[in-house]
């Protein structure tokens, strides 16, 4: 599966919860842009689950770096709404034992996608050892984004809440979605809505309608 960068976004309005959130997902997101302060918004400082349980790491030292991406074979949805996931982890890879780059931001291009580490099992591939081969399911439905943990080893979290495997949970724009690893697989959920701009045909029709009465007045005079 080939790596793809997040697509350029035009004529879309961002819907988000935190008012001060920036938009670095328009280009490839570098590790330096994601500090610990960015990820702290996902957690309640008093919550005991801020630190996830000890992660179980798959031995995948031969795994080649592949950016998180969606398969080109999956048909895109016709909805005017678009959902994007932007990585906001701090990039710390010491718990894995070898350097792993942060994935790029990716768009949920179809109504239903699966997320995981193994390309043959998942539509969206996150090549991080703490992510399960088939980790979670994402679905766009009724203007909402739904997530289901597929009995992953290290769990799926929405902010600081661990999801029950098999239970469908609604993810709000601005939330943090974590696929088992707060350092390398934590994403900010972004929602975009399409803004319809008048086409050239519409502009021509508007011009004709405007010119019509003027011509009639000139004819009468």
- CATH no. for residue 133? 2.60.200.20
How confident is the model at residue 193, as a pLDDT? 72
Domain span at residue 92 reads 12-220
188 assigned to some structural domain: yes
Number of domains into which the chain is organized: 1
Cα–Cα distance for residue pair 189/175, rounded to 1 Å: 6
H, E, C per residue of 46-115: CCHHHCCCCCCCCCCCCCCCCCCCCCCCCCCCCCCEEEEEEECCCCCCCCCCCCCCCCCCEECCCCEEEE
pLDDT at 24: 33
- The two tokens of residue 14 are 């961002």
In a domain, 195, yes or no: yes
Residue 5 counted as domain residue: no
Would you say residue 1 lies in a domain? no
Lowest mean pLDDT among 40-54, 106-120, 144-158, 185-199: 40-54
pLDDT digits (tens, 9 = 90+) for 115-150: 999 999 999 999 999 999 999 999 999 999 999 999
217: its two tokens: 């007045």
Asked if the structure places residue 2 within a domain, the reply is no
**71, part of any domain:** yes
> Does the residue 168 lie in any domain?
yes
Phi, psi of 25 (to 5 degrees): -75, -5
Asked if the structure places residue 4 within a domain, the reply is no
Say yes or no to pLDDT of 56 above 60: no
- By the 10 Å C-beta count (0-12 exposed, 13-18 middle, 19+ buried), 88 is classed as buried
> What integer pLDDT is reported at residue 148 of this predicted model?
97
pTM: 0.60
């Amino acid at each position: 599966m080939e790596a793809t960068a997040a697509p350029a976004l035009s004529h879309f309005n961002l819907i988000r919860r935190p008012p001060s959130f920036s938009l670095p997902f328009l280009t490839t997101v570098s590790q330096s842009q994601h500090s610990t302060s960015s990820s702290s918004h996902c957690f309640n400082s008093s919550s005991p689950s801020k630190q996830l349980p000890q992660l179980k790491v798959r031995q995948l030292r031969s795994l080649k770096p592949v950016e998180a991406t969606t398969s080109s074979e999956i048909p895109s949805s016709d909805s005017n709404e678009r959902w994007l996931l932007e990585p906001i982890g701090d990039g710390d890879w010491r718990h894995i034992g070898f350097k792993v780059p942060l994935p790029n931001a990716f768009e949920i291009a179809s109504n239903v996608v699966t997320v995981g580490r193994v390309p043959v099992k998942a539509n969206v591939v996150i090549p991080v050892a703490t992510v399960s081969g088939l980790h979670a399911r994402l679905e766009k439905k009724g203007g909402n984004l739904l997530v289901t943990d597929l009995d992953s080893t290290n769990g799926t979290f929405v902010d600081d809440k661990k999801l029950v495997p098999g239970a469908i949970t609604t993810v709000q724009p601005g939330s943090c979605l974590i696929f088992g690893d707060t350092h390398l697989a934590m994403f900010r959920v972004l929602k975009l809505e399409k803004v319809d701009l008048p086409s050239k045909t519409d502009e021509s029709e508007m011009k004709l309608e405007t010119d019509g009465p003027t011509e009639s007045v000139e004819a009468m005079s």
